Amino acid sequence: MTKTNLVCWMALALMTTGCGGGGGGGSDAPPDTPVEEPPATEPPPIDEPPATDPPPIDEPPATDPPAEEPPVSNPPPGGAVSRPAPSLGCGGPAPKSGTRTITLAGTDRQYLLDLPTGYDANTAYPLLFSFHGRGRTAVEFRGSNELKETLGDAVIMVHPQGLPDPTAPVEPERASWERAGDRDIDFFDAMHTELTTEACVDENRMFTTGMSMGGFFAARLACERGDVVRAFASAAAGPPLKSNSECVGRAAAWTAHDPQDQLIDYTTEGLALRDYWLDANVCGEETRPLSNGCVEYTNCDAGYPVRWCQYSQADKPYSNHHEWPSFAPQEAGDFFLTLE
């Protein structure tokens, strides 16, 4: 037999006995079980990413609220309040706007109520009280101060009507506001209670503003009701009669005065009002300039800024420099809204 034939016969013998041996291992090869196993194990790796993806996606929102907490304990410049405090009136029917009456000690007191356009009973709005000057009316001041046009959809606005003040040194018969006594303080308290009960109000954002005697009263409320009033804006007015130590809390302050005012003295009243709140809010002398001749004192106690505006209304005929400044609605409004 040739070598070639011998090799062929040996190869044929190996094929009939099975290559690889091991008791039938060759008979398992045709099903290719090692090849079939990957499809059985491939689905888990494909399915696992979707199973583990959601946690990383959901985790940031879960940790976002804690990241927003610092402004509560450390108010940013301007004294911002990060969270509203909804009043009892939230979620209820809208209160009746227009002229409203409250009877106190047998006397009917009236005020005008303006709600934001599209008032939402589930939105806590700032509440702004706007006080007219001596001899004026709520209707007149509402129509001339442009606060409604500037802030009307951002706040609930109240325009109270004053009464003659028998204690006034001049013109006691004209409607005004008391610098002392409880009559008008009680009126404010009654309006506050009624509106926080019937309307959706943010009790962290109560503001008062006024011109002349209305400005005196707005500042008085910031002292005697400083636990309620967050900030005030007064033009052509003077300081409260009570000292800082007699105030109930304190407020952020926006004040303005014309140096040539012929009715309310610039130095003894206007500058005194500014200095009263610089002292109350522990402010230094440093300021930063704003628009319309206004400045902000930059190192007051956190949350209690003071802004001061010196202006002139000489361009208005017969103004006697005792006028609500034309820039007041925007400047005071911006100031209030930095305190959200």
How much is the pLDDT for 240?
Answer: 97
Residue-wise pLDDT tens digits, 84-123: 899 999 999 999 999 999 999 999 999 999 999 999 999 9
SS3 (DSSP) at 260 = coil
Model confidence pTM above 0.85: no
Cα atoms in the 13 Å half-sphere on the side-chain side of 79: 26
Tokens read off for 201: 């109000």
The tally of domains found in the chain comes to 1
SS3 (DSSP) at 196 = helix
How much is the pLDDT for 313?
Answer: 78
Is 35 a domain residue? Answer: no
Residue-wise pLDDT tens digits, 283-321: 999 999 999 999 999 999 999 999 999 999 777 766 789
Is 179 a domain residue? Answer: yes
CA 242 – CA 224 distance, rounded (Å): 8
Domain containing 182 equals: 98-337
pLDDT bracket for residue 238 (50, 70, 90) = very high
Question: What's the order of all strands across the beta sheet hosting 125-131?
Answer: 98-104, 107-114, 156-160, 125-131, 201-211, 231-235, 252-257, 306-310, 294-297, 287-289
Asked if the model's pLDDT at residue 33 lies above 50, the reply is: no
How much is the pLDDT for 314?
Answer: 74
Under a CB-based contact definition with an 8 Å cutoff, are residues 218 and 226 in contact? no
Asked if the model's pLDDT at residue 239 lies above 80, the reply is: yes
How much is the pLDDT for 83?
Answer: 79
Is 75 a domain residue? Answer: no
Asked if the model's pLDDT at residue 276 lies above 90, the reply is: yes
Residue-wise pLDDT tens digits, 139-182: 999 999 999 999 989 999 999 999 999 988 888 999 999 999 99
Q: Output 37 or 204, whichever has higher pLDDT.
A: 204
How many other C-beta atoms are found inside a 10 Å radius of the C-beta of residue 10? 10
How much is the pLDDT for 82?
Answer: 52
Please state the rounded mean pLDDT for residues 13-30. 39
Q: Is the dihedral of CA 244, 247, 250, 251 positive or negative?
A: negative
Under a CB-based contact definition with an 8 Å cutoff, are residues 176 and 168 in contact? yes
Is 211 a domain residue? Answer: yes
DSSP secondary structure letter of residue 226? B
* 3-state class percentages of the chain: helix first, strand second, coil last, to nearest 5: 35, 20, 45
Is 220 a domain residue? Answer: yes
Asked if the model's pLDDT at residue 137 lies above 70, the reply is: yes
Q: Output 70 or 277, whichever has higher pLDDT.
A: 277
How many other C-beta atoms are found inside a 10 Å radius of the C-beta of residue 98? 8
CA 271 – CA 282 distance, rounded (Å): 16
Residue 284's CATH number: 3.40.50.1820
Mean pLDDT of the chain: 82
CA 302 – CA 53 distance, rounded (Å): 43
